[in-house]
Every structure is written in C-alpha cells, then in structure tokens.
C-alpha cells in the first residue's frame, strides 16, 4: 500500500475535495487530542525533543505540537514545547540556546526567519542536537531536515484559484500575511504573484500587508486594507491567524459577502464564518499530522536510521513510510479544501 493510500484508508474520510487529496485531513489521522503540550526537556541519554513554534497561543501550533507530543510519547521520549509570545526570530533564539544547553536530542522548529536563527541552530547542532524545521524552513545549511506541509506551488495555486473563482476572475485583491520574514508565507506569496501574472491578467494584486500572526494586528490590517482600497474584491490570507482575524472583521462589516476571503485556516477557527456566509472556502493540511511526522523524522535522525539525505526512508507511526526528497525535505502531502459541505466533519 502506498503512503497516500494507506493514510487515506486510515482516515476513511468521505468529504468532497475539489480535486485535492484527502491526505492527513479529516478527523486527525494521528488522532491527536486537543489541549496544551507539556513536559520538560531532560538532559542525557534518552530521547528528549523540544518543539519551538513561531509563537505560543496560535491554535495551529497548539494542534501541530500536540501531534508532536503524541509521537514523542509513542516513542517513549520526553516532549516539551517552548517559544516566544510574538512571532519573532529573536524570541526563538533563547529557546534554541536553552535546548542546546540542556542537550536536547532534537529541536523541531517553525522558523520565523530563514537566516536570523541560523547561528543558534548551527551551535545546537555542533553540540549534538538534531535540528528539524517544520512548517516554516530556514536556509538548508542550518537544519538536518525540513518537514514540509504541502508543495508550495500547489498551495499558491489553490489559493489563487480559490480567490479567482470567487471574484469572477477580475478585480483588485490583497494579501494579508503573517510576519514579514516568515519563510513559508514569503515562498507562497512569491509563487502566488507568479501565478497571477501568468494566468490572471484581470486580477490585480494591490497590496501585501503583515499581521505578524497576531490576532489584533491582523484585524487592524484588514480594516486598513478595506479603507485604503475601496474597490478591493478579495483577500488571500495564507496564515491561520490572519484569515480568522480578517473573517471576524468582515463578518460584522458592510463588506461581508462583497469582499471574498480565502487562504489557509483551521476549521475550528473558521467554522462560524463559513456558516455565516463570510467565507466560502479555505485550505489547510492537518497540523497534528505535520507535528507527528516531524517528531518521527527527528527521532530517525537521533537514532541514526536516517541522515537526511535524499532517498532516506523512515516510518512515521500510523502515517506510514516517508522518503526524504531533494534538499533534505520530507513532504506531508496535499492540502484540503474546507467549505460549508464538509466543515462540520473536522475538529482541529
Ligand atoms: C499560521 C502560521 C503557520 C502557517 C499557518 C498556515 O498558523 O503562520 O506558519 O503554516 O498559519
């Protein structure tokens, strides 16, 4: 059985998918419970893994890190989650340093910047800690492996197609992103710009603004976008924090139903805005699966069963077997489309 078919069999989901695979979505295939991650990094011999999200208090990372915790516990190790309150690279450095001092076996991190945390990560690696980036990468020389949620090209395409169909292929759009240096969002935005230029001559991207993965900032930036661009037809927000804040703003404004909104969101945060008609469709992978996969990848590095070179294979528990691709990257799968027809089937 291939990885995708095995996973699809595990989740047994029936929701419709606008041509996207169901991989990793539906009722979390890693069966991750909600609730905050806990534990503490212990020095010495056995597996101890430190998860560092972009910031704390983001439901997306609560879910991904809970997936990591479940995997680490299944592996008999110790899990901890530490991180900054705001999505800044400086905030992450101190946690990287502490994890290295505590001789963590592995750091699993979503990077707030491709280079700014590089020297801290290099130092951690030179003291024996394996480094796995997940969700948002660093430059590849700073980590052993990157666990990628979905192909960046596919994510860009699905979001651009989504907004295009909702605004009738014509008009002004804007992007509400996360923090300005976020590796993942910046890669997706570049690809969206290319897609727009190549295939959508009548759609004009008039602005890209940054809500820093902070709810209030994202809310305020949405208000400002609508004021600055009175002819705006649509917003793409490729961040779960941004899209939820933008939806909240739109849902009580006179632009509700007039300005389309799509992007990447968690079903739990977006449910009410799909039901009240603010949002028609948005996309995501299963964050719990991403954390789960990252933990198994880190464990394989710690055990030395893989080194991170292309072609290395490892098994990620119930998710099945994965193969390391080019640039020491492992791919979770394809994103999934959420809309009124299926949103009630998901809980994360
Ligand atoms: C936010 C973060 C994260 C991103 C998701 C889609 O939670 O920016 O890095 O992958 O959105």
Distance CA 62, CA 266 (A): 11
For residue 240, what are the domain limits? 152-284
Measured from the CA of 264, which atom of ligand 1 is nearest?
6
- Indicate whether 77 and 30 sit together in one domain: yes
- Indicate whether 125 and 208 sit together in one domain: no
For residue 232, tell me if it sits in a domain: yes
Distance CA 327, CA 283 (A): 26
Last-in-domain residue among 284, 306, 329: 284
Distance set, CA 198 to CA 192, 202, 242 (Å): 10, 11, 26
Pocket probe mutation, ligand 1, options 56, 59, 135, 218, max atoms within 8 Å of Cβ: 135
For residue 96, tell me if it sits in a domain: yes
Q: How far is the CA of 210 from the centre of ligand 1 (A)?
A: 13
Q: CATH code at 61?
A: 3.40.50.2300
For residue 108, tell me if it sits in a domain: yes
- Indicate whether 102 and 115 sit together in one domain: yes
- Indicate whether 94 and 169 sit together in one domain: no
Q: How far is the CA of 206 from the centre of ligand 1 (A)?
A: 22
Residues 301 and 308: beta-carbon distance below 8 Å: yes
Residues 266 and 238: beta-carbon distance below 8 Å: no
Distance CA 226, CA 214 (A): 18
Residue 45 has a pLDDT of 54
- Which tokens is 194 given? 């290319």
For residue 258, tell me if it sits in a domain: yes
Distance CA 91, CA 113 (A): 11
**3-state secondary structure (DSSP) of residue 215:** helix
- Indicate whether 143 and 213 sit together in one domain: no
Residue 57 has a pLDDT of 96
- Indicate whether 114 and 170 sit together in one domain: no
171-177 and 203-210: which strand pairing?
parallel
- Indicate whether 167 and 181 sit together in one domain: yes
Last-in-domain residue among 268, 284, 300: 284
Residues 39 and 69: beta-carbon distance below 8 Å: yes
CA nearest 3: which of 330, 302, 346?
Answer: 330
* Structural domain total, the chain: 2
- Indicate whether 83 and 112 sit together in one domain: yes
For residue 171, tell me if it sits in a domain: yes
Q: Does the C-beta of 63 come closer than 6 Å to ligand 1?
A: no
Measured from the CA of 87, which atom of ligand 1 is nearest?
8
Helix runs in the chain, H state only: 3-11, 59-74, 89-101, 118-126, 152-166, 183-199, 215-228, 240-251, 267-275, 287-303
Backbone angles phi, psi at 287, to 5 degrees: -60, -35
Residues 302 and 47: beta-carbon distance below 8 Å: yes
User: What residues in the chain have per-residue pLDDT under 70?
Assistant: 1-45
- Indicate whether 183 and 265 sit together in one domain: yes
Q: Does the C-beta of 244 come closer than 6 Å to ligand 1?
A: no
For residue 303, tell me if it sits in a domain: yes
- Indicate whether 202 and 258 sit together in one domain: yes
For residue 1, tell me if it sits in a domain: no
- Indicate whether 188 and 290 sit together in one domain: no
Last-in-domain residue among 239, 260, 284: 284
For residue 3, tell me if it sits in a domain: no
- Indicate whether 174 and 111 sit together in one domain: no
């Amino acid at each position: 059985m291939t990885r995708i078919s095995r996973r699809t069999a595990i989740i047994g989901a029936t929701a419709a998918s606008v041509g996207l695979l169901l991989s990793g979505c539906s009722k979390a295939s890693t069966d991750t419970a909600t609730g905050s991650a806990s534990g503490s990094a212990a020095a010495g011999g056995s597996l101890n893994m430190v998860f560092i999200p972009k910031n704390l208090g983001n439901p997306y990372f609560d879910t991904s890190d809970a997936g990591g915790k479940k995997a680490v516990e299944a592996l008999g190790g110790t899990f901890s989650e530490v991180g900054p309150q705001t999505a800044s690279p400086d905030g992450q450095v101190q946690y990287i340093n502490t994890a290295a001092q505590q001789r963590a076996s592995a750091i699993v991190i979503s990077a707030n910047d491709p280079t700014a945390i590089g020297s801290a990560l290099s130092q951690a690696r030179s003291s024996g800690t394996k480094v796995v980036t997940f969700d948002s990468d660093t430059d590849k020389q700073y980590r052993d492996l990157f666990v990628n949620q979905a192909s960046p090209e596919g994510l860009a395409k699905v979001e651009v197609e989504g907004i295009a169909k909702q605004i009738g292929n014509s008009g002004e759009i804007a992007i509400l992103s996360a923090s300005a240096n976020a590796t993942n969002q910046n890669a997706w935005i570049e690809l969206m710009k290319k897609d727009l230029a190549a295939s959508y001559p009548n759609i004009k991207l008039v602005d890209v603004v940054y809500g820093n993965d902070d709810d209030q900032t994202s809310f305020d930036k949405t208000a400002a976008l609508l004021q600055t661009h009175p002819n705006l037809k649509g917003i793409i927000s490729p961040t779960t924090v941004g899209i939820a804040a933008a939806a909240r703003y739109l849902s009580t404004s006179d632009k509700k139903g007039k300005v389309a909104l799509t992007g990447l969101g968690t079903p739990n945060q977006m449910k009410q805005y799909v039901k009240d008609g603010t949002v028609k469709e948005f996309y995501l992978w299963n964050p719990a699966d991403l954390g789960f996969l990252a933990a198994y990848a880190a464990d394989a590095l710690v055990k030395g069963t893989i080194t991170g070179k292309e072609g290395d294979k490892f098994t990620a528990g119930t998710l099945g077997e994965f193969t390391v691709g080019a640039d020491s990257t492992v791919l979770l799968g394809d994103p999934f489309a959420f809309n009124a027809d299926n949103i009630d089937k998901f809980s994360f």
